[in-house]
Amino acid sequence: MMERDLNDLRESYESGKTKEASWRESQLKGLRRFLMDKQQDIMQALMQDLGKHQIEAFRDEIGTLIKTLNLALKSLKDWMSSKKAALPQLALLTSAEIVPQPLGVVLIISSWNFPIGLSLEPLIGAVAAGNAAVLKPSELSPACSSLLASSLTTYLDNKGIKVMEGGAEESQQLLEQRWDKIFFTGSARVGRIVMSAAVKHLTPVTLELGGKCPAVVDSLSSSWDIEVTVKRIIVAKYGTCAGQACIAIDYVLVEKGYCSKLVQLIKLYINKMFGDNPQKSKTISRIVNKHHFSRLKNLLADEKVKESVIYGGSMDQDNLFIEPTILVDPPLEAAVMSEEIFGPLLPIITLEKIEDSIKFINCRPKPLALYVFTKNQTLQRRMISETSSGSVTFNDAILQYAADTLPFGGVGESGFGMYHGKFSFDTFSHHKAVVRRSFLTDFWYRYPPWTLNKLQL
Ligand code: NAD
């Protein structure tokens, strides 16, 4: 089955049809029609898999994707066109250009937390760039995976784009094949498996991984500023797939003297946003499955960690719901501070001086995203130049994901390669250097025999 599917894709690619602007455009339009026609089904699938509220479903997946598709459709001709390159004046009667070309047949493996967004965002780039593609969604979001396999495919050319469902085993079978590019979103553990498989055919890979994204909160003096900060922290943690997001705030760093004010406001706004019983509000996603629920429960099992919980902590295993939870100063060597949390637990770590956060961040793996809430320009400058992370956002969180003009991707342990907007097109393209010379001008000194007077010229 897989063999035949892959042959279909190679044939389609080799026939040249996926390279045509008209094919790319029709597939992008098909993707957009799917999102428009099936909006309700997508929302239902996201509700089924993750208890994701429809506003979050639209904000983070459907709406963002439609925006990306509109940009890709509007920019396609420009992205596909070759760009003139300047040459030194010495190269008389010579011209040069950079011609973007598709890579071939590409594999996209995605994750469960934004199962539609993280599947289609790279697929848009792959198709816009003229590749044939296989999409392997995550088995942990089965309703979305099956919707993509059964419904999305009716909007697309199935000889050029295929959705193949399955888990680790199917994924590994796919990885054994020869690809022209592998685009992977998931954990660093599986990222290593993907990279090892890619070695066999020297396949280029993009790894969109995760890690712990810190939020540094400076001691802001205006009550407006601190309240805006708190609201943005809450939405970036509990209001984005219940913290099951690669760019969710993992933990907060704050000065000791400012911590109690921050905590008091976070509690107040959790209550304002989710009410006395957040579970009843139906606005917080649930944990994806029992395995991840127990993983999160275990993060709190340690006695010292338990003592650090100052808010929330209640868990409903039957409904896979975890209350927004705040921890103050859990031991730094505990799993909650060494592993990616990926859930609604928010450790707050106190420091003597806010500048100490730079050292704190630099002692740990490079984050995918860094958030810094401050008006202090010097601190902003230092954060940019003295720390390394996929992105840094000042005074907000998450919204960098939606900016098509910015590259999205990690550095170090948080992955490598980048996408979104034109960067997605580039990620799935080879930029071929083309040089054209005229026969007319020619100079004797560029040919042997090498004599010293040629060097002097
Ligand atoms: P995962 O690595 O377990 O799974 C990702 C994909 O790999 C799935 O499609 C899965 O079927 C497949 N897979 C699982 N085991 C495999 C194996 N042994 N061999 C081959 N394929 C295998 O990750 P996840 O649980 O889906 O996602 C959580 C992780 O992903 C977190 O670390 C998170 O930060 C990261 N993430 C990163 C981004 C990003 O854009 N950078 C986005 C979302 C999630």
For 276-327, write each residue's pLDDT tens digit: 999 999 899 999 999 999 999 999 999 999 999 999 999 999 999 999 999 9
Return the bridge partners of 141, or none.
none
**Between β-strands 83-85 and 94-102, what pairing exists: parallel, antiparallel or unpaired?**
antiparallel
- Reported ipTM: 0.97
Q: Does 146 contact ligand 1 (Cβ within 6 A)?
A: no
Question: How many separate helices (H) and strands (E) can be counted in the chain?
Answer: 19, 18
Work out the number of other CB atoms within 10 angstroms of the CB of residue 238: 29
Q: Does position 456 have pLDDT exceeding 80, yes or no? A: no
Question: Residue 1: which pLDDT band, with cuts at 50, 70 and 90?
Answer: low
Question: Residue 442: which pLDDT band, with cuts at 50, 70 and 90?
Answer: confident
Each residue's pLDDT tens digit, 327-361? 999 999 999 999 999 999 999 999 999 999 999 99
Q: Report the C-alpha gap between 128 and 283 in whole angstroms.
A: 35
Q: Does position 16 have pLDDT exceeding 80, yes or no? A: yes
Q: Mean pLDDT across the stretch 18-35?
A: 98
The model's pTM is 0.96
Cβ partners under 8 Å of residue 144, min gap 6: 42, 45, 46, 49, 112, 115, 116, 119, 137
Counting atoms of ligand 1 from 1, which one is nearest the CA of 246? 34
Q: Which helix (H) or strand (E) holds 391?
A: strand 391-394
Q: Report the C-alpha gap between 435 and 457 in whole angstroms.
A: 24
pLDDT of residue 32: 98
Each residue's pLDDT tens digit, 70-123? 999 999 999 999 999 998 876 788 999 999 999 999 999 999 999 999 999 999
Which three-class secondary structure state does DSSP give residue 368? coil
Q: Does 368 contact ligand 1 (Cβ within 6 A)?
A: yes
Question: Residue 457: which pLDDT band, with cuts at 50, 70 and 90?
Answer: low
Residue whose CA is closest, atom 42 of ligand 1? 246
Q: What is the DSSP letter of 408?
A: B
Residue whose CA is closest, atom 13 of ligand 1? 168
Counting atoms of ligand 1 from 1, which one is nearest the CA of 139? 11
Would you state the structure tokens that stand for residue 281, as one six-digit string?
Answer: 């509000």
Counting atoms of ligand 1 from 1, which one is nearest the CA of 190? 2
Residue listed under structure tokens 């009667």: 93
The residue type found at 445 is Y
Least confident of 33-37, 160-164, 438-442: 438-442
Q: Give, in order, the Cα–Cα distances in Å from 329 to each of 183, 250, 349.
A: 37, 14, 5
The residue type found at 429 is S
Question: Residue 20: which pLDDT band, with cuts at 50, 70 and 90?
Answer: very high
Q: Mean pLDDT across the stretch 251-255?
A: 98
Terminal Cα distance for the chain, rounded:
65
pLDDT of residue 205: 98
Residue in 209, 213, 219 with CA at minimum distance from that of residue 259: 219
Q: Does position 171 have pLDDT exceeding 80, yes or no? A: yes
Question: Residue 47: which pLDDT band, with cuts at 50, 70 and 90?
Answer: very high
Residue in 211, 236, 228 with CA at minimum distance from that of residue 397: 236
Counting atoms of ligand 1 from 1, which one is nearest the CA of 410? 41
Q: Which of 144, 246, 259, 340 is catalytic?
A: 246
Would you state the structure tokens that stand for residue 90, as one six-digit string?
Answer: 């010495």
CB 411 within 8 A of CB 391: no
Which three-class secondary structure state does DSSP give residue 281? helix
Residue whose CA is closest, atom 19 of ligand 1? 168
Q: Mean pLDDT across the stretch 353-373?
A: 98
Cβ partners under 8 Å of residue 187, min gap 6: 209, 210
Would you state the structure tokens that stand for residue 50, as one six-digit string?
Answer: 């993750």
Cα(210) to centroid(ligand 1), Å: 9
Each residue's pLDDT tens digit, 401-423? 999 999 999 999 999 999 999 99
Q: Which of 56, 121, 208, 340 is catalytic?
A: 208
- What is the DSSP annotation of 307-367? HHEEE---EETTTTEE--EEEES--TTSHHHHS---SSEEEEEEESSTTHHHHHHHTSPPP
Give the percent of the chain with pLDDT over 70: 99
CB 381 within 8 A of CB 389: no
Q: Does 193 contact ligand 1 (Cβ within 6 A)?
A: yes
The residue type found at 79 is W
**Between β-strands 325-328 and 309-311, what pairing exists: parallel, antiparallel or unpaired?**
antiparallel
Count Cβ atoms within 10 A of the Cβ of residue 86 and give its class: 0-12 exposed, 13-18 middle, 19 or more buried.
exposed
Average pLDDT over the chain, rounded to an integer? 96
Q: Report the C-alpha gap between 380 and 312 in whole angstroms.
A: 32
Handedness of CA 41, 69, 398, 206 (dihedral sign): positive
Residue in 57, 36, 38 with CA at minimum distance from that of residue 46: 57
Q: Give, in order, the Cα–Cα distances in Å from 30 to each of 66, 120, 129, 291.
A: 11, 12, 16, 36
